[in-house]
Amino acid sequence: MHFNALPALLMNRVPSQCAVCRSWPSAPVCHACMARFGQPRRRCRTCALELPELPELTEQTSQCARCKRQPFGLDACFAALPYAFPWSELVSRYKFDSQTGWASFMASTLLEQPAVRAFLGQLTAQDWLLPLPLSAERLAWRGFNQAWELTRALLRQSACRASADTSLLLRIRHTRPQSELKRSARLENLKGAFAVAPLRTAELTGRRVVLIDDVMTSGASLLTAAGVLRQAGASHVSALVLTRTAPT
């Protein structure tokens, strides 16, 4: 067994405290906390914002009002959890405290969404799962790409046949963290930040691509990357994220 697989294996096999309520023994997050904080929510099929529950006699829409007025830029977008307590804290531990074992839990949580499992099951070996890349500076500082660890865990735990790669979509420019910027400045901050590997554009022609990330806020990073992939010839670009912030 590869050494890097040990943290995820131990997190899921060795009894421990629930990371939310501290009950013992427990899975990484106990069933009670998942039932309280992790219930599936109706979400817009293109931007993953939460949709209101309508009366039973009213037809349920699959898109938010904003996406109906103006296409969002993704063919589909899936999210499992809100970026709120306790998930925002757990994502921070994962990213900033190098607790990479959380990738396995995050992948299994995503795969518990029937729409996610069905969507991944439709992909073929000709399609791509691409983690949103980090700049060289941020990767060196953090030590790992959280989106890539999540992608690897998804492939381990599912029957998805798509190919995964970290060198097809590149982050070629270091930018300020998006969290430091207002919504209106986020797209401008990312101009020229992503590129497709110059000698590999033919690998995207007519292909479906799924971008993977841990958090989606305004969607600026995903939309910018999606635009680059479409320019390179991708026919269908979707996104799969663990958490989605509430609308602002």
> Maximum CA pair distance of the chain?
54
- Give 182-221 as a DSSP string: -HHHHHHHTTT-EEE-GGGGGGGTT-EEEEEEEEESSSHH
pTM tops 0.85: yes
CB 213 within 8 A of CB 239: yes
Q: What is the pLDDT of residue 2?
A: 40
Q: Distance (Å, rounded) from C-alpha 166 to C-alpha 173?
A: 16
CB 25 within 8 A of CB 34: no
What CATH class is the domain 39-51+62-244? alpha beta
Q: Count other Cβ atoms within 10 Å, centred on residue 225.
A: 26
* DSSP 8-class letter at 52: P
- Main-chain phi, psi angles of 92, to 5 degrees: -65, -40
Q: What is the pLDDT of residues 129-164, one digit of tens each?
A: 999 999 999 999 999 999 999 999 999 999 999 999
pLDDT band at 55 (very low <50, low <70, confident <90, very high): low
Nearest CA to 144 among 131, 129, 163? 131
Amino acid, single-letter form, for residue 179: S
